[in-house]
A and B are shown apart, each in its own frame.
Chain A
Amino acid sequence: MNPQAIGKPLTRIDGRAKVTGAARYAAEFNQPNQAYAVIVSSTIGLGRITGIDPAAEHLPGVLAIISHLNAPRLPYNPHKGGIDPSYGERLHVLQDDQVRFYGQPVALVVADTLVRAERAAAALRITYDAQHPIVGPRDKQAKPIAPEADGRLEADNVRGDPEAALASAAVAVDITSDIARQNHHPMEPHATIAAWDGDRLTLWSKSQFVANEQEEIAAVFGMAPENVQVICPFVGGAFGTSLRTWPHVTLAALAARQVGRPVKLALTRRQMSFTTGHRPRTLQRMALGATRDGRLTSIIHEGTGETSRYEQFIESLTSGTDFMYSCPNVRTRYRLVPLDTGTPTYMRGPGEASGMYALETALDELAYKLGIDPIELRRRNEPRIDESTNRPFSSRSLMACYDIGAERFGWAKRTPEPQSMRDGRLLIGMGTATATYPAMQFPASARARLLADGTAEIESAASDMGPGTYTSMTQVAADTLGIPVGRVRFSLGNSDFPPAPPHGGSQTMAAVGSAIRAACLAVQDLLVERAAANPRSPAHNMGKEALEWVDGHLRRKGGAASGQSYAEIVGAAGGVPVEATVSVARDPEIDNKYSMHAFGAVFVEVSVDPDVGIARVRRALGAYGAGRIVNPRLARSQCLGGMIGGIGMALMEHTSLDARDGRPVNAHMAEYLLPVNLDIPDLDVLFVDEVDPHVNPLGVKGLGEVSLVGMAPAIANAVFHATGRRIHELPIRIEHLLGV
């Protein structure tokens, strides 16, 4: 492959459609004769429905009011989609009178217009027998459990004797942290338009995983998957909330079947706070022991995350701790607290974002106790291999990230003592932290089709929630085929295409990119066969090994002729398009041989106003070692977005539940605080030139998650440097900083 497009900062291929308003998202595929459905959400946090007053049925335009009283019993055949929790069972919607959490869908109003559906939903009277829900992990009645082992994550890991090592350590820190529940709150609310044609169902539905949505809805309704098609060409941000198929998709399909018309169902912003997953609140303890010269002798990490009563949502909260630094004695323990709330789900940087907060703030605390620069402390504990598995890293550029980041950021100008830097009356602090996220690759498939005009069509049921899948995949296909990007058309977001894994976990580039590359190579092989079978072709009767592809032309290996173009080969065979569909999975041997992760070093400067306690990020820099960067312009953008997500996590984002009934008290954009233009300063992104020959054929590691991880601890460390106050709670709020 001769890279012409890969590595180039192309502008996004889907950009024109997005800046002109032409791009169509799920809610924008209005169908003829479409009706509208509105979910009625429970107003109690636990209990049962005792009655539903049918009077609203007679309001103008109402086509149906569907509840457990009249909903058909749906088959809900077993289905686990990889992104579903291994233990427990999804919410079966409108199938019984039980209310398991505040906001659970308890009825669905369908009307001929949205206004009329909303009016009837507001008028619907539901009575309940309410019980007191337990919604906080610190509630005395909340009981932690050990998650069922599911093969993906061990709840307990130990090496050496960390307790003894901690007790005898020359220097030790032992801190706790409490990180708030967060909601993804992408700017596009969830929406589904469902239309039945006999036994066939079409869903235009916001999804990061159309292949799973197809299979899940087929299982829920007891249908053959080929009778369900899910279409989603654009995703308006998601960050994990559209990985799973939530109850509203089932409800849209159910409503459309009940009323015999296409139905549109969009969630309100408020409903986005309780039925579509959240980053679980976590409680953590991190204890570190070290020698006087800063060698770690003990790490103990105990973390607990929320889950629901009906599913065990697990995330890699303690996974980074096992391998991040060199230490002979390490124990990690992961527990869950089942609560009367909806099930959490993956949110950008799941697990690591919270777990690395505990590790990196504790390490900062240790650096102060030792009087060692925080970067130097990490350098002294840089491991040669992954000590949790005794495997080498496929590549690890952490210290290179610190080196280039520190230089660009001006870390040397930092004076180490807390409260030692000021700008007028503002306290200034600089903090740093490590970021990491595993470089995964789930099985993926793709189709490449060469047409008689020499252009290529590439298809995969992948998604693009914004990072630039359309663009980067086109770059991969163009370079593999040796043609300009303008001759490649890449389509995604359709379950009729070859299946792709969830668009999450920072592995779309690795998984779908590898599949597209393989599909392009496979179609080239088919074209070689075509050419070899053609008596008029210069390649007639020649084998693959005697030929080569150069710039989109097939020629004798090492030959001087320009060779035959795709158009010539396809055209000579009657112009019938030639296509290949290929599935690619990572060689399991690679997983057994290497520990594969992206790494980064994050630097932050904050100011804290000592009079009003407001902490602001003044500038930040992320330096990442994430393998090959396919498109530097879009990669930088993706990292900036992740860093801003980290600013939100550190200083703003918090879904606050009313302990009395589990109601989110800030279920709207006015009070679920997100960074806005005024909060975001000059941010910088650097990439280490990292070559990883092992991780996948493209050498890519993914950026979406690692760019969020590390930001929150870097901010908390900077706040400590500015104020001398170690805040153990996220988000860091004014009340934490008053009186500094």
Chain B
Amino acid sequence: MAKHHVTTTVNGDPVEYLCESEQTLLDCLRDELDLVGAKEGCSSGDCGACSVLLDGRLVCSCLVLGVEAEGRSVETIEGMAQGDELHPLQRKFLEHAALQCGICTPGILVAAKALLAKNPDPTETQVRYWLAGNLCRCTGYDKIVRAVMDAAAEMRGA
């Protein structure tokens, strides 16, 4: 079976890849483009480790087919820092010790970035609801919520 040729934009760069019909966007990112920051935790959209933005919308890339990225814009964790300069969310995660093993971290950061793009001044409850789809097994969620709140405040210049 011929593979599909996909032309898309990832983190602002035009990219192309070949993929199979059933290949997920997650596997295309990881195996075809070597962008391994998005993780596979469950393959069923339950854990959020594979979170990316598709045309600015937060999706589980394990539930999106690689072919669906055609002509669209994908943002992953690899595009979050500007060169050596970390995004405020990334810095605050380090300061608040809001990560341990790091597997869920990229997905949480991408999800949090999507939240702050929609709502620069979320309440704690809004942060908890928004991130309820991102499972973490080692760190402890409270630090993650604090880090997001702190980053939001800094980004607002508060």
Query: A389 near B: Cβ within 8 Å?
Result: no
Which chain B residue shows the least CB distance to A23? B102
B140 surroundings in chain A (CB, below 8 A): 637, 640-641, 643-644, 680, 683
Question: How distant is A679 from chain B, measured CB to nearest CB, in Å?
Answer: 8
B8 surroundings in chain A (CB, below 8 A): none
Bound together, the chains give a CA A30 to CA B86 distance in angstroms of 27
Question: How distant is B39 from chain A, measured CB to nearest CB, in Å?
Answer: 7
Query: B43 near A: Cβ within 8 Å?
Result: yes
Question: How distant is A269 from chain B, measured CB to nearest CB, in Å?
Answer: 5
* Contact B103–A21 (Cβ < 8 Å): no
* Contact B76–A187 (Cβ < 8 Å): no
Query: A60 near B: Cβ within 8 Å?
Result: yes
The 8 Å CB contact of A114, one of B27, B42, B104, B141, is B27
Which chain A residue shows the least CB distance to B45? A670
**A-side interface residues, number (CB < 8 Å):** 65
The 8 Å CB contact of B90, one of A20, A25, A467, A677, is A20
Question: How distant is B59 from chain A, measured CB to nearest CB, in Å?
Answer: 17
* Contact A633–B97 (Cβ < 8 Å): yes
* Contact B101–A236 (Cβ < 8 Å): yes
* Contact A237–B101 (Cβ < 8 Å): yes
* Contact A634–B142 (Cβ < 8 Å): no
B49 surroundings in chain A (CB, below 8 A): 187
Query: B44 near A: Cβ within 8 Å?
Result: yes
Query: A12 near B: Cβ within 8 Å?
Result: yes
* Contact B142–A188 (Cβ < 8 Å): no
A187 surroundings in chain B (CB, below 8 A): 39, 41, 47, 49, 101, 103-104, 135-137
Query: B94 near A: Cβ within 8 Å?
Result: yes
* Contact B94–A15 (Cβ < 8 Å): yes
Bound together, the chains give a CA A21 to CA B141 distance in angstroms of 20
* Contact A19–B90 (Cβ < 8 Å): yes
* Contact B134–A669 (Cβ < 8 Å): no
Query: B81 near A: Cβ within 8 Å?
Result: yes
Which chain A residue shows the least CB distance to B91? A19
Bound together, the chains give a CA A287 to CA B144 distance in angstroms of 42
Query: B138 near A: Cβ within 8 Å?
Result: yes
Question: How distant is A322 from chain B, measured CB to nearest CB, in Å?
Answer: 30
Query: A455 near B: Cβ within 8 Å?
Result: no
* Contact A637–B143 (Cβ < 8 Å): yes
Bound together, the chains give a CA A145 to CA B45 distance in angstroms of 42
Interface string of A220-243 (1 = CB under 8 A from B): 000000000000001111110000
Query: B55 near A: Cβ within 8 Å?
Result: no
* Contact B137–A674 (Cβ < 8 Å): yes
The 8 Å CB contact of A269, one of B21, B22, B42, B76, is B42
Bound together, the chains give a CA A60 to CA B143 distance in angstroms of 48
Interface string of B17-39 (1 = CB under 8 A from A): 00011110001001100111111
The 8 Å CB contact of B97, one of A22, A60, A189, A634, is A634
Query: A486 near B: Cβ within 8 Å?
Result: no
Interface string of A3-30 (1 = CB under 8 A from B): 0000000011011111111111101101
Asked if A15 meets B101 with Cβ closer than 8 Å, knowing A188-B39, A189-B40, A669-B41, the reply is no
Which chain A residue shows the least CB distance to B46? A669
The 8 Å CB contact of A14, one of B76, B90, B102, B109, is B102
* Contact A236–B103 (Cβ < 8 Å): yes
* Contact B46–A237 (Cβ < 8 Å): no
B133 surroundings in chain A (CB, below 8 A): 676
| Given A19-B86, A19-B109, 5 other A-B residues pairs in contact with their CB atoms under 8 A | A21-B37, A187-B41, A236-B101, A237-B137, A677-B145
- Give B contacts to A, CB under 8 Å: 1, 20-23, 27, 30-31, 34-44, 46-47, 49, 76-78, 80-81, 86, 90, 93-95, 97, 99-106, 109, 127-129, 131-145
Could you list some 17 contacts between A and B, CB below 8 A?
A11-B94, A12-B94, A12-B97, A15-B93, A19-B106, A21-B80, A119-B22, A188-B39, A236-B102, A465-B101, A468-B100, A634-B97, A641-B138, A643-B140, A676-B134, A676-B141, A678-B129
- Give A contacts to B, CB under 8 Å: 11-12, 14-25, 27-28, 30, 60, 113-116, 118-119, 185-189, 234-239, 266, 268-269, 465-468, 633-634, 636-638, 640-641, 643-645, 668-670, 674-683
